[in-house]
Structure 1
Amino acid sequence: MSAHAVTASTARTSVRLADGREIIYFDDAPGQDRSTPDRRDLPPYAPAAELRYDVLHGEEVLVAAHRQNRTYQPAPGECPLCPSHGDHLSEIPAADYDVVSFENRFPSLGGPAGGRCEVLCFTSYHDGSFATLPPERLATVGRAWADRTAALAKRPDVEYVFLFENRGAAIGATLPHPHGQIYAFPYVPPTPRRMLAAAERFLEEHGRCLMCEVVAREAAGPRVVAETDGFLAYVPEAARWPYEVYVAPRACVPDLPALDAARRDELMRLYADVLRRFDALYEHPTPYMACWYQAPARTKRDAAHLCARVYTPQRTADKLKFLATSETGGGAYINDVLPDAAAARLRDL
């Protein structure tokens, strides 16, 4: 393991794992010793993802065949995201941690494809969740996300930093430990690319930010879920999923690094509030997907407006919405739940 770098003022420590991958500890407060070495015997890290182009759809496709061998629903006590202890040597060498981000051992990017994939663990507590994190931990996660967004956006092989979380086996999460991922793409992915194109057209035609316009309109309507002075959580008028919420600043902000610490903490508290409402929908934890749309690293930043999106396929307590042929083949989404009713339910929760 190489010498570690510590930034005491921000409680940030960068070290290396046994195979050369970077791991970064983000602590709630400075002063933690993160020099514990990785005692595993691992082969050198060699990402093998390929980036290919689908000429019929005009979209990029990542091919990462090595991911077939990634860890899937490990047995109790064998979680690779729990701290290392005794003979259990995990991806995190430390005996405990607050928030940690490390290069994914089974990445969808890197190597010939360019870019980088990171796993970001929200807590060392295996049975926890993002929604139950205390305020100081929410602040640390927000700081980590802003740090990684800024650092990865500086790489010459990165055009877009995408933060996301998959929670629950129903939507394909392979590890139950509370964590998200960071994909630093060498291109702007199709969905944010379409969103940016719509924002650019609106800016050119009206001279105003499209998301600012949407947030102002939704703030006065029936689909507000929760709000603070600086941010709004709402169900979109044309929601595609049974329960779907956007969380956005009321004023133009391109990405998380553009927020000061106080505003970022305010956003993180509202975001966690939304996740708690999702978890209160049913008697079991609600599976969900959550992602953050930010400005690209270098282009079209003037039209971008930071927002988070949370959505679930759980349409009733015992029924899931599956994306059928109309959605996957035709791109025509059909929602079984009235967005106004979904907003009212989430608001009441």
Structure 2
Amino acid sequence: MELAIQAEGLRKRYGDHEALRGVDLAVPAGTVLGVLGPNGAGKTTTVRILATLLEPDAGSARVAGYDVVRERKEVQRAIGLTGQYAAVDEQLTGAENLRMVGMLQRLSRPAAKRRAAELLERFRLTDAAGRTAGTYSGGMRRRLDLAVSLVARPSVLFLDEPTTGLDPASRLDLWAMIREQVASGVTVLLTTQYLEEADQLADRNVVIDSGRVIAEGTSDELKRKVGGERLEVGLADPEQRAAAAAALSRAVGAVPVADDDGRVLRVQLATGLDDIAEAAAALRASGVAVSDFAVRRPSLDDVFLSLTGRSDATAADPAAAPADARTRETERSAA
């Protein structure tokens, strides 16, 4: 199995803040790795090390077969990088942005012009090619930013929270474009705070928290860490919560958990359809009025709650924010 990205024991410290505490990664060529974690977990620091923008304090990494410290130029020629915020020049037109990057990549002027035209068409920006990027919508800027990262036809693409701030339609657009790149053989490392994004795009995921990888696997493998399917029962009358909980407990042999207002009970299922039928019969026999009755599979949100104690990737510990801000400021200075 050919690895496009391999990292072992990556560590990075900023003063008294240890951003990375020994991160290991292995990404087969032509696949997508989702890197998940709350704010300040170390996702962006990892990407910046792999993209040669930072040097690790310890550990090693190879990207596209090259060492990120000793062979920086070779790595840079092999990769594309799209950061959390669009990095295009707003005073230049879309076409000018792409042509400029092409010439910086040592393409001839005609070759840079041809490549710009190809990417403008692929990313549906041809009609806006002559407008300055400052007039683009958020979704158009992100498409242009991704196009810029592809000018040199990279074999490895780093996407650091590429859909942050986009509306749902623009996010779906960008997902489709990322899938196109993977289908053409590009390896993608994607950091995201949208758990659905990892579910949709990633072949495998790693969860990083406090600078360490705390879990890895496919989305389904991670979901299995928090158990199987669960039954959610909405109560028409929250006063019947005790009766409903008793009925469900008898039916499925597990203790239900109520939400904050007592209107929804959740209980883990052990035997699937049999448990569902028993639960429905028990609620009916107890005279419990039900407003909703649904079976839910675990989500990546549930994985976050189980692994990090947070309900999703965006619910970072506020105390971590200042350290994260210091980390980003130091990274900007290093770059």
Q: What is the TM-score when the length of structure 2 is the normalising length?
A: 0.25
Relative contact order (C-alpha < 8 Å, sep 6+): which is higher?
A: 2
Greater fraction of residues in helix: 2
Q: Bigger radius of gyration, 1 or 2?
A: 2
